[in-house]
Amino acid sequence: MKTINIRGELLDLSQPLVMGITNVTPDSFYDKSRKQSETEIVEHTRQMIGEGAAIIDIGAQSSNPKSPLISAQEESERLRRVMPILSKEFPKTIFSIDTFYSEVGKMCVEEFGVSMINDISGGQMDENMFETVAQLKVPYILMHMKGTPQTMNKETNYKHLIQDIFFYFSKKIEALKLLGVNDILIDPGFGFSKTLNQNYELMAQLRNFHIFELPLLVGISRKSMIYNFLETTPQESLNATTALNMYALQNGATILRVHDVKEAVETINLFRKLQLSIPCT
C-alpha cells in the first residue's frame, strides 16, 4: 500500500517519512521528549515540523514499565490542555494520537481533527478500539505487544518469535478488515514484550514483514535495546539510533518514529540518494 487516506486526502508513502514524538507526560523514559508547558509543546512541535516531520505523534501516557497506568479520563485531561492549541497553531499538520483507549482516540479525532490512532496494545487493552477506528475511518497503527506496559517485560516467552508475531498480525489485520478498516500500518513493537536479543532478532527479520503488504512503522529511537547493549544512556543513543534507522530503511521501513527529526530526515535523504545511485542492470 503506497498511500493512506488522511482526512480525505491521500498521503504518499512511496518514500519513507518521519513521525516526530511529543510526550505530554512527566515520566517518559527519554527526559528531553517530556514537554509540560504549553509553550514548550508548541515550540517543540514547530521545531519538528520545520525539520521535516510529516506526522506528529502526541502521547499523554508513558509506556515506561516503571510508570503507573493512568485512566482514560486523566489522559483526556492532559490532551484537552494541549490539543486545542496544537490544532489551532498547526491546522495543516497530520497529528497521530498515541493511545490504547478508544474514547481518547475518538475525542481527539472528533474534537481536534487528529488524523491517525497509534495503539501500542493492538486493541488488547480496550475491546472497543477496533470498532471505534472503523467508525472514525482513520488510519490505525497496529503494534505488537503482549500484556501491558507494566507487565510486558515479563511477557517475553515465544514458541517462535517471528512466527508468533506474524500470527498476531494476521489475526488482528483480518479482524480490522472485516470491520472495514482500510488504512492499517504495522509496528513490530521494538522494546515491547521482547528481550534485548529478541529485539535484534526482530530487526534482522524486518524485511520479511513485506508479506503483509502494509506500511511498516519502526520505532527504536533511543530505546533500551540500544543503550543497554552499548552500556550507555538514552541521552547518548542518537548515533546508534541513526545506524539502526538506516538498517530499517534498507529493510522496508516506511515511517521512522523518532525523537530527533533532523537526523532521521537526513538519514532518509541519504537512503534515497543511495537508492537513486544504484546502477540499472
Contact partners, residue 85, CB within 8 Å, separation at least 6? 38, 41, 42
Q: Which residues of the chain have pLDDT under 70?
A: 1, 27-36, 281
Angle in degrees, 0-180, between the axes of helices 38-51 and 261-277, rounded to the nearest 10? 10
Contact partners, residue 252, CB within 8 Å, separation at least 6? 206, 207, 209, 210, 216
Angle in degrees, 0-180, between the axes of helices 261-277 and 238-250, rounded to the nearest 10? 40
Q: Give the angle subtended at the CA of 261 by the CAs of 259 and 264, to the nearest 5°.
A: 105
In this predicted model, what pLDDT tens digit does every residue of 201-250 receive, in sequence order?
999 999 999 999 999 999 999 999 999 999 999 999 999 999 999 999 99
Cell of 49: 515540523
- pLDDT at 32 (0 to 100): 55
At which residue does the C-alpha cell 514524538 appear? 21
Q: Indicate if 146 belongs to the active site.
A: no
Q: Are 39 and 46 in contact (CB under 8 A)?
A: no
Which of 223, 262, 272, 273 does the annotation list as catalytic?
Answer: 223
CATH topology for the 15-262 domain: TIM Barrel (3.20.20)
Q: Indicate if 7 belongs to the active site.
A: no
Rounded Cα distance, 170 and 85, in Å: 38
Domain boundaries defined on the chain: 15-262
Q: Are 121 and 144 in contact (CB under 8 A)?
A: no
Say how far residue 207 (Cα) sits from the centre of its chain.
18
Which of 257, 262, 272, 273 does the annotation list as catalytic?
Answer: 257
